[in-house]
Structure 1
Amino acid sequence: MTHARFTTLAVSGSYDHAEAARHLGSLSEPAHLATAQSFPSMEAMLAATAEDGDGWVYARRGNPTVRLLEQTVAALEGYRVDAEVSAALTATGMGAITLATMPLLSAAAGPKPNIVASPQCYGSTTMVFDKRYGEERDVDVRWVGDPLSVEDWAGLVDDGTRFLYAEVPSNPTVQLVDIPALAALARQARIPLIVDATLATPALLRPLALGADVVVHSLTKAAGASGRSMGGAVIARHGLGLRGQPEELSADYAGHLRRGSLRDMGAVLSPFNAWTILADIRELRGRVDTMSRTAHGVAEYLARHPGVVEVFYPGLESHRSHHIARRDMWLVDSELDGGEAENRFGFLVCFRPAGGVRAAHEVMDRLGLVWRANNLGQVRSTATIPGATTHKQAADADPARAPVPPDMVRLSIGIEHLDDIVGDLDQALRGR
């Protein structure tokens, strides 16, 4: 299936006719819900334990259903990437971020480690970097002043820098960074550029194709849009050639994590969750296309509304990183549909209603169709106030560096009709 189109890879992954024949012809991937495998002989057991065979031994070390999703995620994120790509799956998106970053911070790898990162990222990511790494492990966390300035990034990189980190687009301000330029900076320093591309999904943006080394995703979001399961993914190109890191880690980063850190620390993905996400991810392109087109319409409506003072959406010319979004965010394979390639800018729209925090709370309370919830990327549209919920910990820890305005409403647009979403927002903003 290596030459198949994106949607075909999403539907089929590595589950082909031969694989189905090994499972009594099941048209759907089987859910291997057992925690361990039985072996026909001691020789087979030893081979699997030594990872010389295809056995999975014990669910913490691997599972056939999890591996099917792993291969599918790697194929989608590695689509049209001129490199070998592999993936490791975790129980949550934050598990993926921790798995992707922690092994790079070994004290044995050289000078005191530091991280150079965009401050425009998810609140829990900020807490992991500042608290778990900075305060608890004495890692120097260097937040970039202006994530759009490559010079600002370069000025913070030195011999102790272990990786560059950015979220594209960011949650919730939907900012982008110049991935190719940061990738060149990372290559020069022989460190990885790690990109959280959860809000784009590989249907709209594949950072590996733009030069990034490692990509992380929360599969809980648009990949698992039914909202039934949590999961995370680390996807990396092979042959990174990292300074001060073990050769086996550079050779196959995700595989090394899967065989070492993930196995030992145990934050593995449940096979049941893998099975449900496999069902959701089949329709990723079409679903994200619909959600993005609707989100663009919502953003344009909000930008015209007299009761809204600011809108955050990369598809609007007023957005600070619109020029990068126009360059990098494309509906995958849209040029094959009989026309030119088409931009899509994602499903997250944020806005500030006139009247401050109190008005934002009142708008939230008047929502009818849109659900008040702290998740995003679902088939149902959801809304929250990040400064009081998803980013509250980060804001409380450092009020001077609050990541989002306290009156910002975050909308995650689902697959409902645009007219109905706009109608709900209109009545919520007008108060009737």
Structure 2
Amino acid sequence: MRGSYDHEEAAHNAGSLSEPAYLATAQHFDSAETMRATAAGEREGWVYARRGNPTVGYLEETVAALEGYQVDAEVSAAVTTTGMAAITLATMPFLSTAVGDKPNIVASPACYGSTVMVFDKRYGDERGVSVRWVDDPLSIDSWERYIDADTRFLYAESPSNPTVQLVDIPALAALARRARIPLIIDGTLATPALMRPLGLGADIVVHSLTKAAGASGRSMGGAVIARRDLDLRGQPAEMCADFAGYLRQGPMRDMGSVLSPFNAWTLLADIRELRARVDTMSASALRVAEHLAGRGDVVEVFYPGLPGHRTHHLAKRDMWLVDSGGPGRGAVNRFGFLLGFRPAGGVPAARRAMDRLGLVWRANNLGQVKSTATIPAIGTHLQVAGDDPGDAPVPPDMIRLSVGLEDADDIIEDLDQALAGSDVTGRRSTSAAGTVAGIAADPAE
């Protein structure tokens, strides 16, 4: 997982074991010709920090190595200021009217609130793009019905925030290939430690590096990772050849969404421990989810590691701790660090439980080393919580919990006292057996 920073590269940096932080905005050149050749891309160099920086480059190569691990394809990456910048840059280039004047996109409604806003408001209302939210993200027929000659891409989070619902990536990839459009997956919640969508057939993956990749909570960042040589209908050859490179050389350079070298440096330090950290956090999250599912005052738990979750079968198939299989041991399923639950008693009970948390931090972030909780309907998804639940279904009484590195018993003890203090008892809803994000569960699952 060292990317391009190997022994030879370290020798050029005074033998430093860690990537150096190039906290500079521009590079000096020994001649005008060297400046010209570097700016033209004819020789190695970085010219100006908006166009690139060595520390940022190390992070891009590391992220590409992680997401491209065991993937039978060449992969490249571009890192951005935030996860939302990554989502915007990964999708916007496909909406050019040069390809057709009535573009549409087909997406899962189980998305982060800001993603919904970008698609509905920035693309839909402001640019006239038709946004087609599928009725049931697990129904391939539902996706296929919306695809036509003007569809530019398919988009889904897997798992989704906050309902931790997966999609069938190989099946969606087959649809995208037939239509010669890209399948774009937000893989933030799984991280490359548990799932690499490119290996399942996706064309482009986006991440918020602010989350588990940057678990110390010191820096924001995002990433776009893509296969090279994409076979896409009507798109420019240079964009298909190296999509991430195209972003760096064009949209990112022109619009100024490049990550700062300092943030890249702190993210490089955090990402080294990604596998071990996600392993521990995921194991604890399963224990917490199982405990909450056994409480009579919790009416519903959202966690793909629970057999009753509607997408448990996909999680069992696709979410594996990387390199956990080996001689004498089998591969290990891990289902991520994020879960959600609904206390009996509705919104008042959820707010009381939130206010009583002692160990768990009340914060609108996830994937951190510290456990955090929020009520998405009044936090991360406030902008869309009042919309049609078929578009952005977020239960108003759902508490989203990101399990950190604290001892699982301590997290459970904190949740128990918070729930006990809500003074509400209730009967477990039948929806706890599998209803996720307002979509009826298949009784067979």
TM-score relative to the length of structure 2: 0.94
Does 2:229 match 1:239? Answer: yes
Aligned residues: 422
Q: Aligned residue for 2:190?
A: 200
Structure 2: gaps of 5 or more residues:
423-445
Q: d(CA) in 2 for partners of 1:277 and 1:326? A: 29
Question: Contact between 1:391 and 1:403, CA under 8 Å: does it hold in 2?
Answer: no
Q: Aligned residue for 2:304?
A: 314
Q: Deviations over 1:269-311 (max 9, x none)?
A: 0100000000000010000000000000000000001110000
* Aligned counterpart in structure 2 of residue 335 of structure 1, from 320, 325, 347: 325
Q: d(CA) in 2 for partners of 1:400 and 1:158? A: 22
Q: d(CA) in 2 for partners of 1:338 and 1:415? A: 28
Higher helix content, 1 or 2: 1
Q: d(CA) in 1 for partners of 2:387 and 2:52? A: 37
Q: Aligned residue for 2:9?
A: 19
Q: d(CA) in 2 for partners of 1:231 and 1:220? A: 5
Q: Deviations over 1:219-239 (max 9, x none)?
A: 000000000000000000011
**1:7-406, aligned counterparts within 5 Å?**
9=1, 12-336=2-326, 338-398=328-388, 401-406=391-396
Does 2:438 match 1:428? Answer: no
SS at structure 2 position matched to 1:155: helix
Aligned-residue offset at 1:336: 2.5
Cα RMSD (Å) of the superposition?
1.0
Q: d(CA) in 2 for partners of 1:149 and 1:333? A: 31
Q: d(CA) in 1 for partners of 2:401 and 2:231? A: 40
SS at structure 1 position matched to 2:191: coil
Q: d(CA) in 2 for partners of 1:176 and 1:151? A: 16
Comparing 50-59 with 337-346, greater Cα deviation is found at 337-346
SS at structure 2 position matched to 1:403: coil
Q: d(CA) in 2 for partners of 1:414 and 1:244? A: 44
Question: Contact between 2:160 and 2:166, CA under 8 Å: does it hold in 1?
Answer: yes
Q: d(CA) in 2 for partners of 1:67 and 1:168? A: 27
Counterpart residue identity of residue 185, structure 2: V
Q: Deviations over 1:106-132 (max 9, x none)?
A: 001124100000000100000000000
Counterpart residue identity of residue 60, structure 2: E
TM-score relative to the length of structure 1: 0.96
Question: Contact between 1:168 and 1:174, CA under 8 Å: does it hold in 2?
Answer: yes
Counterpart residue identity of residue 241, structure 1: D
Structure 1: gaps of 5 or more residues:
1-8
Aligned-residue offset at 1:21: 1.2
Q: d(CA) in 2 for partners of 1:212 and 1:402? A: 23
Counterpart residue identity of residue 183, structure 1: A
SS at structure 2 position matched to 1:116: strand
Q: Aligned residue for 2:433?
A: none
Q: d(CA) in 2 for partners of 1:157 and 1:111? A: 16
Q: d(CA) in 2 for partners of 1:267 and 1:84? A: 24
Q: d(CA) in 2 for partners of 1:293 and 1:194? A: 28
Q: d(CA) in 2 for partners of 1:360 and 1:151? A: 36
Q: Deviations over 1:134-160 (max 9, x none)?
A: 000000000000000000000000000
Counterpart residue identity of residue 355, structure 2: D
Report the CA distance shift for 1:285/1:172 in structure 2 as closer, same or farther (over 3 A): same
Counterpart residue identity of residue 339, structure 1: R
Segments ≥4 residues shifted beyond 3 Å:
396-402
